[in-house]
Amino acid sequence: MKILYLLFAVFLLLFQATSGSADPLFPDTVECRTQGNFCRAGACPPTFAATGSCHGGLLKCCSK
């Protein structure tokens, strides 16, 4: 039974993601957020304009 705890600890350490260790999954999302904008599914709110895309083109990048 103790081996299960050990295996769980090994899997936890093995599959733990480290920040900054890999390329971002969606570079367009990172670019949108670094400019101070946000991503939204559907239309942007009335006072915002769609300036690009996020999540590989599935969402819109909304900016003021």
The answer as to whether 36 is a domain residue is yes
What's 31's domain CATH number?
3.10.360.10
What is the chain's mean pLDDT, rounded?
A: 83
Is the pTM above the cut of 0.85? no
The answer as to whether 9 is a domain residue is no
When pLDDT is cut at 50, 70 and 90, the band that residue 12 belongs to is: confident
How many domains is the chain built from? 1
In whole angstroms, give the CA distance from residue 15 to residue 11: 6
In whole angstroms, give the CA distance from residue 5 to residue 20: 29
pLDDT top residue among 59 and 2: 59
In whole angstroms, give the CA distance from residue 31 to residue 61: 10
User: pLDDT digits over 23-51, tens only?
Assistant: 567 888 889 999 999 999 989 999 999 99
Q: Burial-class residue 62 by CB neighbours within 10 Å (0-12, 13-18, 19+).
A: buried
